[in-house]
Amino acid sequence: MNETAVVQFLIALIAPFMVAYGIGYFIRRSIKLIVFMLGMFFFVAGVLWYAGVISSFSGIQDWIEGVMKIGYDKTQQLSDQIGATVDKKAEGSAGQMTIILGISSFFTGMLYGLFGNKKDKALRISAD
């Protein structure tokens, strides 16, 4: 195994994990703010509906459906692009293994960033 292969392997292993850990940690730390803002959105929408400014929620529903459709379309495009990239790397399994390693490292980092490093990890045994 030459030097560049080792460096590529380490980058594929460590870089996605660290990026995903940062994203997961940010989401975990800012979840209260996100939920508060979502609650305030529904509170303001309820007040506007009660005051008669909004007659129905169909506009909001159409907007949410549009956002979800855009997200779904972008996810499909990304999935197709990843599939095309994997198909182009048909020279051997090393390229595919690097992609699989990077994806698994990313999701491991994301899960560790979201749920890991909690203070109450130890099993507590209490006596009555």
From first to last of its 128 residues, the chain has per-residue pLDDT tens of: 677 777 777 777 788 888 888 888 888 888 888 899 999 988 998 888 888 887 777 877 888 899 899 988 988 888 888 777 766 655 555 666 677 777 788 888 888 877 776 665 555 555 54
Q: What is the pLDDT of residue 19?
A: 85
Which pTM was predicted? Answer: 0.47
Q: Which pLDDT value is given to residue 36?
A: 93
- Backbone phi, then psi, for 45, in 5-degree steps? -65, -40
In Å, what is the CA distance from 76 to each residue of 71, 82, 84, 85, 107?
Answer: 9, 10, 12, 14, 18
Alpha carbons 14 and 7: distance in angstroms, whole number: 10
pLDDT at 43 (0 to 100): 92
DSSP string, 1-34: --HHHHHHHHHHHHHHHHHHHHHHHHHHHHHHHH
Spans of all domains in the chain: 3-115
Per DSSP, helices labelled H in the chain are 3-51, 58-88, 93-115
CB-CB contact of 60 with 45 (8 Å): yes
d(CA 71, CA 8) in angstroms, rounded, equals 31
**95, 10 contact by CB (below 8 A):** no
